[in-house]
């Protein structure tokens, strides 16, 4: 007597379920013909995209022109350009305090500064790391994996780990004390907290960009380097005349991608800085949208949508540049 | 030649066998410093998560989790703490009875006689390696951590399963059939890659309320199921499956769905595996969308729960770090085993 194995049972159960699923689908095929089957296969995907992606885009634009605190469009009065006027009314754009919606402009300036520093720092670190890993290094796989590891972690986990590292009683302060530097509460200081939001962001994402740049570097034909070696070209010359020009398109794509992602900074900064602190020093544009719409019962959906639309336009412009560059690279 | 010392030389030099130059040293220094920078915050949080509540805020901190040692001494009701005492150049372990100002009264724990008064600057606490497992067991039993964990596992598992099925079906249609609107549909799906959640989160929330999925785990599962990345990845792979296989099955009168289920899907296994890994990581780490959709505590996922916890126990770092580590562990295990798949998958698609 043989007893049925667990896998047999699992396989039979799956066959049974698929038998039930299969019957109506095969019925559809007999009724409508084989030619219409792809539409059936696409249906679940397209229905979900329609409801959860395309419908929201359509609503987002309409929402931006309505006011009040109601959720459904029918409950919301049409206010024309009021939301945009409220966001953009400003005596001096360089001084958020002079703007009607000063929080919005604080967030914009914080985001711009963050994007600038974060893009430059990430690009530099990722490029140097990729160039080093591209040499015939021992243990290349190990280092590539090591730098990539943080990319997989959750932003909440990263925020908490760094918060602890930078704590008053944390490791960084202990190390500084050994050097005779008085302890500092980094995350309660405007300058330091901004600095460390960039550090954490570089730490989090550089592995991803290193990987893309490394793939680009490895696509550069080796014989170019051999030719340069025969000509006794200096390393500096090889870097600026061969490596960087040939990596150029890749670098541009990474640059745009990095900008698109940096503009949307939220998760890890939110956890690290306790919601944008100290004060509004690390309050970014996505946080502004989140707080207007969902934070502390403000429910200013119209204002939040108007801000989303403005941010969406910036991201769209960046994406179109990226697509154009991508097409240029292919041809 | 000064080339070897040029600040950028180390970036392009290739290694010459049998010689270690400045370039190699700089390269190795960069890589080792980078590795340390990645590891130190993580390992530090891990070590701290084993420290007892009383020890975790000690400054300067000890590297390993340690705790003061206590001992019951005959004649005293409560256990006394052990200290190393320096008397006239002689070191011995004694138990502290009480402390008055700058003087401490100590007794010999094995042979308690009348207490001796000692200057506090001559004593230091005896500490032993202690692992505070209660940091891990308390959140699992006393707080809602187990609920968060269950929710996260449920969301990750169900969403990944649905992601694989829905996107494989769409990829099958887009790779193995010629039909009207094929190209338009493909472009439409791929174009959704350009629409980040941050731009549509307000109206997407409205849709979730409209279909009655607000504050429900399904509200975070269903909107994420249709994935342009998934369709793209699977379609590119399915294009490499020869059409002759499908024609042969049609000759054998197999239904279209049977062809998908029995022939195409098994052959797509490697691409499905890559998508499954990505989907698990996305769903497990998801934060902003669950934060918007979920409002009651019993529905929180691990990430939202962790974020809520840190607001509540702002001082109890021992619990926060232990829970952080429990949510980091599965990702680390996945990475250790599937590191090759993940890195080649990302290099191949340019997506995260």
Q: Which distant-in-sequence residues (6+ apart) come within 8 Å of A141 by Cβ?
A: none
Helix (H, G, I), strand (E, B) or coil at B276: helix
CA distance B220 to chain A (A): 11
Which regions of chain B are under pLDDT 70?
1-20, 313-315, 344-352
Q: Which two tokens stand for residue A116?
A: 């600038």
Taking only residues 6 to 25 of chain A, the set having a beta carbon closer than 8 angstroms to any beta carbon of chain B reads: 18, 22, 25
Distance in angstroms (rounded) separating the CA atoms of residues B345 and B352: 9
Query: What single-letter DSSP state applies at residue A170?
Result: S
Scanning A201-240 for CB atoms below 8 A from B yields 203, 208, 211-212, 214-215, 225, 234-236, 238-239
CA distance linking residue B255 with residue A32, whole number of Å: 13
Nearest CB to A157: which of B200, B257, B328? B328
Asked if B173's CB is within 8 angstroms of A39's CB, the reply is yes
Q: Tens digit of pLDDT for each residue in B58-113?
A: 777 777 777 777 777 777 777 777 778 877 777 777 888 787 778 888 888 777 77
Q: Are A307 and A292 within 8 A, CB to CB?
A: yes
Task: Give the C-alpha distances (Å, rounded to integers) separating A329 from A253, A315, B274.
Answer: 10, 21, 26
The pTM of this model reads 0.83
Name the 3-class secondary structure at A70.
coil
Chosen for mutation from B4, B41, B331 (greatest number of chain A CBs closer than 10 Å) is B41
- pLDDT at position A163: 92
A151 vs B352: CB contact, 8 Å cut-off? yes
Interface of A with B in 91-130 (CB under 8 A): 128-129
Interface contact flag, A49 B192, Cβ < 8 Å: yes
In B, residues 233-292, which contact A (CB 8 Å cutoff)? 255-258, 260-261, 281, 284-285, 287-288, 292
Kindly list the residues from chain A whose CB atom is less than 8 angstroms away from the CB atom of residue B256: 25, 29, 34, 37
Q: Are A314 and A320 in contact (CB under 8 A)?
A: no
Interface contact flag, A154 B204, Cβ < 8 Å = no
Give me the pLDDT at residue B18, please: 54
Residues of chain A contacting residue B301, judged by C-beta atoms under 8 Å apart: none
Contact between B303 and A154 (Cβ < 8 Å): yes
Predicted interface score ipTM higher than 0.90:
no
Per-residue model confidence (pLDDT) at position A7: 61
Check CB contact under 8 Å for B200 and A308.
yes
Structure token digits, residue A319? 């994406």
**Residue B116: strand pairing partners:** B106
Measure in Å the smallest separation between the Cα of A99 and chain B Cα atoms.
Answer: 23
Tell me how far apart the alpha carbons of residues B205 and B213 are, in angstroms, rounded to a whole number.
Answer: 9
B99 touches chain A (CB under 8 A): no
Partner B contacted by A305 (CB < 8 A):
yes
Count the residues in chain A.
331
**pLDDT of A230:** 87
Query: Three-state DSSP class for B80?
Result: strand
Tell me which long-range contacts A170-177 makes (C-beta under 8 A, separation of at least 24): A170/B44, A170/B61, A171/B40, A171/B41, A171/B44, A171/B61, A173/B59, A174/B59, A174/B60, A174/B61, A177/B59, A177/B60
Q: Are B266 and B245 in contact (CB under 8 A)?
A: no
A130, A217 in Cβ contact below 8 A?
A: yes
Interchain pair B31, A143: CB under 8 A: yes
Contacts of A315 in chain B (CB under 8 A): 194, 196, 199
Q: Cis omega (within 30 of 0) on the bond before B60?
A: yes
Contacts of B48 in chain A (CB under 8 A): 164
Q: Are B328 and A157 in contact (CB under 8 A)?
A: yes
Residue B314 sits at φ, ψ, to 5 deg, of -65, -20
Chain A: closest CA distance from residue B192 (Å)? 7
> Residue A234 — left, alpha, or beta (φ > 0 → left; ψ -120 to 50 → alpha)?
beta
Q: Tell me the nearest-neighbour CA distance from A105 into chain B, angstroms.
A: 18
Per-residue b or e along B230-250, where b marks 16 or more CB atoms closer than 10 Å to that residue's CB: bbbbbbebbeebeeeebeebe
User: Per the CB < 8 Å rule, is B199 touching A315?
Assistant: yes
- Spell out where B13-149 has E strands: 66-68, 70-71, 80-87, 90-100, 103-107, 116-119, 123-125, 127-129
Asked if B13 and B23 count as a contact pair (C-beta separation under 8 A), the reply is: yes
Judge whether A247 is closer than 8 Å to chain B, CB to CB. Answer: no
- Contact, B147 vs B300, CB < 8 A? yes
Interior/surface letters B57-75, b for 16+ CB within 10 angstroms, e for the rest? eeeebeeebbbebeeebee
- pLDDT, residue B1, reads 35
Of B8, B225, B292, the CB nearest to A294: B292
CA dihedral sign of residues B175, B180, B183, B189: negative
A98 CA to chain B: closest CA distance, Å?
26
Pick among A33, A72, A164 to test the B interface (most B CBs inside 10 A): A164
Point out the residue among A212, A308, A312 whose CB comes nearest to the CB of B350: A212
Q: ω into residue A105 within 30 of 0, thus cis?
A: no
Please say whether the beta carbons of A72 and B206 come within 8 A: yes
Tens-binned pLDDT, residue by residue, of chain A (331 aa): 444 555 677 778 888 888 888 888 888 888 888 888 999 999 999 999 999 988 888 888 888 888 877 777 777 788 888 888 888 887 777 787 778 888 899 999 999 999 999 999 999 999 999 999 988 667 888 888 889 999 989 999 999 999 999 988 888 998 898 898 888 889 999 999 999 999 999 999 999 999 889 888 888 888 888 888 888 888 888 888 888 888 888 888 888 889 988 999 999 999 999 888 788 889 999 999 999 888 777 778 888 888 988 898 888 888 888 778 777 766 6
Q: φ, ψ for residue A250 (rounded to 5)?
A: -60, -45
Across the strands, what pairs with B98?
B105
Q: What is the CA radius of gyration of chain A?
A: 27
What is the pLDDT at residue B351?
A: 54
Interface test mutation site (partner B, options A30, A153, A217, max chain B beta carbons within 10 A): A153
Does B257 contact A22 at a Cβ distance shorter than 8 Å? Answer: yes
The answer to whether the CB atoms of A52 and B207 lie below 8 A apart is yes
Residue that is written with structure tokens 């401490």 in the block: B104
Query: Residue B175's CB: how many other CB atoms inside 10 A?
Result: 22
Q: Among A311, A48, A77, which Cα is nearest to B204's?
A: A48
What residue of A is the nearest CA neighbor of B306?
A156
Phi-psi region of A233 (alpha: psi -120 to 50; beta: other; left: phi over 0): beta
Tell me whether residues B343 and A170 touch, CB distance under 8 A: no
Q: Which B residues, 141 through 160, put their C-beta within 8 Å of a C-beta on chain A?
A: none
- Are B261 and A22 inside 8 Å of each other by CB? yes
Helices of type H across chain A? 6-32, 37-49, 55-63, 82-88, 102-134, 140-148, 155-165, 171-178, 190-218, 222-230, 235-238, 244-263, 267-272, 285-293, 301-330
């Amino acid at each position: 007597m043989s007893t049925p194995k667990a896998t047999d049972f699992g396989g039979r159960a799956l066959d049974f379920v698929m038998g039930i699923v299969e019957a109506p689908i095969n019925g559809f095929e007999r009724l409508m013909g084989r030619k219409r089957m792809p539409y059936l296969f696409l249906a679940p995907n397209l229905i979900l995209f329609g409801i959860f992606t395309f419908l929201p885009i359509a609503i987002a634009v309409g929402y931006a022109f309505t006011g009040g605190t109601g959720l459904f469009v029918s409950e919301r009065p049409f206010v024309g350009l009021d939301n945009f006027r409220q966001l953009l009314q400003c005596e001096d754009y360089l001084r958020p305090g002079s703007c009607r919606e000063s929080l919005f402009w604080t967030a914009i300036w914080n985001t711009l500064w963050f994007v600038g520093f974060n893009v430059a720092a990430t690009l530099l670190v990722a490029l140097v790391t990729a160039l080093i890993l591209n040499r015939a290094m021992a243990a290349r796989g190990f280092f590539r994996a090591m730098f990539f590891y943080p990319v997989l972690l959750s932003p909440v986990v990263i925020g908490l780990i760094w918060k602890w590292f930078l704590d008053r009683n944390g490791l960084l302060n202990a190390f500084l004390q050994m050097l005779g530097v008085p302890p500092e509460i980094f995350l309660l200081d405007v300058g330091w907290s901004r600095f460390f939001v960039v550090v954490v962001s570089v730490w989090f994402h550089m592995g991803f960009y290193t990987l893309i740049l490394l793939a680009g570097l490895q696509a550069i034909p080796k014989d170019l380097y051999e030719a340069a070696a025969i000509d006794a070209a200096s390393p500096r010359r090889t870097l600026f005349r061969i490596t960087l020009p040939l990596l150029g398109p890749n670098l541009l794509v990474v640059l745009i991608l990095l900008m698109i992602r940096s503009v949307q900074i939220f998760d890890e900064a939110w956890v690290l800085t306790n919601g944008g602190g100290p004060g509004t020093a690390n309050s970014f544009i996505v946080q502004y949208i989140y707080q207007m719409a969902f934070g502390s019962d403000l429910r200013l959906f119209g204002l939040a949508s108007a801000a989303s639309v403005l941010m969406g336009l910036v991201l769209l412009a960046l994406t179109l540049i990226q697509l154009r560059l991508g097409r240029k690279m292919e041809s | 030649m000064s080339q070897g010392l040029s600040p950028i030389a180390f970036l392009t030099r290739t290694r010459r066998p049998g010689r270690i130059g400045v370039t190699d040293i700089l390269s190795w220094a960069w890589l080792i410093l980078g590795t340390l920078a990645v590891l130190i915050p993580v390992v530090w949080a891990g070590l701290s998560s084993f420290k007892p509540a009383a020890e975790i805020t000690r400054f300067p901190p000890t590297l390993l989790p340690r705790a003061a040692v206590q001992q019951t001494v005959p004649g005293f009701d409560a256990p006394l703490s052990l200290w190393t005492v320096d008397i006239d150049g002689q070191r011995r372990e004694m138990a502290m009875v009480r402390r008055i100002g700058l003087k401490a009264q100590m007794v010999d724990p094995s042979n308690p006689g009348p207490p001796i008064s000692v200057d506090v600057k001559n004593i230091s606490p005896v500490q032993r390696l202690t692992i505070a497992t209660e940091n891990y067991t308390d959140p699992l039993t006393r707080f809602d951590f187990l609920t968060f964990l269950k929710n996260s596992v449920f969301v990750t598992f169900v969403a990944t399963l649905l992601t694989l099925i829905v996107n494989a079906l769409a990829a099958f249609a887009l790779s193995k059939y010629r039909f009207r609107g094929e190209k338009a549909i493909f472009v439409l799906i791929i174009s959704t890659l350009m629409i980040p959640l941050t731009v549509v989160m307000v109206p997407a929330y409205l849709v979730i309320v409209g279909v009655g999925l607000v504050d429900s785990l399904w509200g975070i599962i269903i909107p994420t199921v249709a994935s342009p990345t998934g369709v793209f990845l699977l379609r590119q792979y399915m294009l490499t499956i020869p059409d002759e296989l499908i024609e042969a099955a049609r000759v054998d009168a197999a239904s279209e769905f049977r062809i998908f289920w029995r022939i195409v899907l098994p052959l797509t296994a490697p691409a499905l595996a890559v998508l499954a890994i990505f989907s698990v990581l996305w769903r497990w780490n998801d934060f902003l969308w669950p934060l918007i959709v979920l409002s009651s505590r019993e529905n929180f996922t691990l990430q939202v729960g962790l974020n809520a916890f840190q607001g509540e126990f702002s001082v109890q770092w021992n619990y926060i770090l232990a829970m952080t580590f429990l949510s980091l562990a599965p990702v680390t295990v996945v990475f250790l085993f599937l590191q090759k798949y993940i890195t080649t998958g990302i290099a191949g698609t340019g997506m995260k």
